[in-house]
Amino acid sequence: MRSLNVDCKISVYCNINESEDVNKVKTAISNILTDMDETTDDSSFVANSSNYESLTKIYETMRTRKTKTAYRRHLMRNMTEDSTWFYLNKQAAFANAVVLCDDESESPLGPIKIVLHSKNIEDVIDWLVSDIE
C-alpha cells in the first residue's frame, strides 16, 4: 500500500437491527477496517479513525478484484466539498469479504456506510483508486 500524504479521517456508520447480534456487527466491521475507535448502542455502530491504513483491506481488495473503477464512480458521485462515501455489504463483511453496494437495499440487513473526510478529498480518492502502487 502506498502512502497517503494528506490528512484523512474515516468514519463508519451502521445500523444494528433488533434481530442482529451487536458482536457480529462489530466482527463484520473489524473484518474490513482496522484501528477504529468505536462506539455502539443497541441500534447503531459508529467508528472513526485518522489512520488511512484502516482502509488496507478495502485498498487491497480493489486491486485483486479489479473494482477500482466502480469505487471511483461511487466516490466521485458522492463527493462533496470535503468528503465522500460508499456502502459495503454487511453480511459479506461478516464473511470477511469486501463487497461494494450500489444502493442501501443491496444489503438486506442494511449496509456499512464509510465516509472519508479530507480538505484534499480528490487526492484521497486518487490515492485509493489509482493504478499507481
Quick check: helix, strand or coil at residue 97? coil
Q: What is the pLDDT of residues 15-37, one digit of tens each?
A: 999 999 999 999 999 999 999 99
Quick check: helix, strand or coil at residue 24? helix
Q: List the Cα angle 11/74/120 in 5-degree steps.
A: 55
Q: Where are the domains of the chain?
A: 9-129
CATH class for the region spanning 9-129: alpha beta
Percent of the chain with pLDDT over 70: 98
Distance CA 27, CA 6 (A): 29
Residue with the three cell numbers 477504529: 36
Quick check: helix, strand or coil at residue 31? helix
Whole-model pTM over 0.75: yes
For every residue of 100-133, DSSP letters joined together read EESSGGGSTT-EEEEEEE-TTHHHHHHHHH-S--
Q: Are 104 and 87 in contact (CB under 8 A)?
A: yes
Work out the pLDDT band at 66, boundaries 50, 70, 90: confident
